[in-house]
C-alpha cells in the first residue's frame, strides 16, 4: 500500500506540472486572441465596402450594355482552386480536423480541384495521402499578415489569369465569438452574382469612372482577391486562437478534476494503511496480555 501511495503522489505531481503548462498556454492564447479579434473587427467593414464598390462597378457595366472584362467573366464549372486556411500547430481541439474534413469533402465533390494550402497541419495531412498542391504557405505565425495574404492572392490570381482553373474558393473558419467558429466556403472567382444586388435603399449615386470602367474593374478585381484572402486569414487566425484557448481551458479543468480524484484515492489509501497498522498494534497488544 505504501508503494501505491507513492505512485499516486507521483501522478499528482506530474498532472500538476501539466496543468501549469496548459494554464500558461491558455493565457498566451487569450492575450493573442484580443489582438486577433481587433483585426477581424477592422477588416470586415473594409472587405464589405470593397465588395459593394465592385458590385457598383459591375452594375454600371451591365447598365451601359457593355461586356465585362475577361477577368470578370464567368467560365466553366469543371476546374476549381481551393485555398485551405488551417493552422501550423495542434492543441486547438477540433479546429484543424474540421477544416481538413471539409477540404476532403470538397475534393470528393469536385475531382478536378487544385489546392493552395496554408498551414502545416493541412499540408502534412494531404502529403501523407500523396495529394499535390499548387503552393504551400507554412510558418506564418498567429497573426494575419497583409504581406502574406498578398503573396497568396497574387499566386491565385496569376494562375486564374492563365486559366489553370475556372473557380476559386476559400475554405476557412469564420470567427463568431471565442467559443463558436464556423467552417465556411467563400466563392471568390468568378465574381459572385450577389455582388450585383443593391444593398442600400433609395437611388444609387452616380459615379464617373476614370479612365474607364474596364480599367477600374481590372484594378478592383486583384484588390478584391487580396482582400478576400486577408479577411479570411484574419478570421481563421482568430478562430484558431479561440479554439486553442478553449482546448487549454478544458485541459486545465480536466487536470484539476483528475487531481481531486487522485487526492481522494490517496487519502483513502493512506487511511486504509493507518487503520491496518492500528489493527496490527491492537492485535499485538492483545496477544501480549494473553
Q: Please list the residue range(s) of the chain that carry CATH number 3.40.1380.10.
A: 32-247
- The per-residue pLDDT for range 155-188, each reduced to its tens digit, is 998 888 888 888 899 999 999 988 888 999 998 8
Q: Please list the residue range(s) of the chain that carry CATH number 1.10.287.80.
A: 2-22+250-289
* CATH 1.10.287.80 fits domain 2-22+250-289: yes
d(CA 157, CA 215): 17
Cα distances (Å, whole numbers) of residue 104 to 82, 87, 97, 135, 189: 11, 16, 11, 17, 21
- The per-residue pLDDT for range 125-153, each reduced to its tens digit, is 999 998 888 889 988 888 888 889 999 99
Listed range (4-13, 149-158, 267-276) with the worst mean pLDDT: 267-276
Q: 17 CB contacts (<8 Å, ≥6 apart)?
A: none
Largest Cα–Cα distance in the chain? 118
Confidence of residue 9 (pLDDT cuts 50, 70, 90): confident
pTM of the full structure: 0.84
Query: Any idea which fold 32-247 has?
Result: Pyruvate Kinase; Chain: A, domain 1 (3.40.1380)
Amino acid at each position: 500500500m505504501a508503494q501505491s501511495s507513492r505512485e499516486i503522489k507521483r501522478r499528482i505531481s506530474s498532472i500538476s506540472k501539466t496543468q501549469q503548462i496548459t494554464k500558461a498556454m491558455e493565457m498566451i492564447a487569450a492575450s493573442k486572441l484580443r489582438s486577433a479579434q481587433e483585426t477581424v473587427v477592422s477588416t470586415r467593414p473594409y472587405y464589405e465596402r470593397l465588395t459593394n464598390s465592385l458590385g457598383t462597378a459591375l452594375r454600371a457595366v451591365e447598365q451601359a450594355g457593355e461586356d465585362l472584362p475577361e477577368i470578370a467573366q464567368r467560365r466553366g464549372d469543371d476546374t476549381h482552386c481551393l485555398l485551405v486556411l488551417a493552422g501550423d500547430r495542434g492543441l486547438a481541439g477540433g479546429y484543424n480536423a474540421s477544416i481538413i474534413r471539409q477540404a476532403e469533402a470538397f475534393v470528393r465533390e469536385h475531382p478536378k480541384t487544385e489546392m493552395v494550402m496554408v498551414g502545416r497541419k493541412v499540408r502534412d495531412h494531404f502529403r501523407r495521402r500523396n495529394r499535390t498542391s499548387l503552393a504551400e504557405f507554412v510558418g506564418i505565425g498567429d497573426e494575419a499578415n497583409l504581406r502574406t495574404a498578398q503573396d497568396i492572392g497574387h499566386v491565385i490570381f496569376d494562375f486564374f489569369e492563365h486559366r489553370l482553373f475556372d473557380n476559386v474558393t476559400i475554405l476557412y473558419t469564420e470567427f463568431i465569438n471565442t467559443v463558436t467558429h464556423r467552417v465556411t466556403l467563400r466563392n471568390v472567382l468568378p465574381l459572385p452574382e450577389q455582388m450585383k444586388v443593391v444593398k442600400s435603399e433609395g437611388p444609387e449615386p452616380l459615379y464617373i469612372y476614370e479612365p474607364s470602367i474596364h480599367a477600374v474593374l481590372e484594378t478592383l478585381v486583384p484588390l478584391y482577391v487580396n482582400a478576400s484572402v486577408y479577411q479570411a486569414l484574419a478570421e481563421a487566425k482568430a478562430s484558431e486562437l479561440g479554439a486553442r484557448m478553449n482546448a487549454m481551458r478544458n485541459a486545465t479543468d480536466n487536470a484539476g478534476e483528475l487531481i481531486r480524484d487522485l487526492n481522494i484515492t490517496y487519502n483513502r489509501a493512506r487511511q486504509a494503511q493507518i487503520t491496518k497498522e492500528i489493527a496490527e498494534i491492537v492485535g499485538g497488544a492483545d496477544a501480549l496480555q494473553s
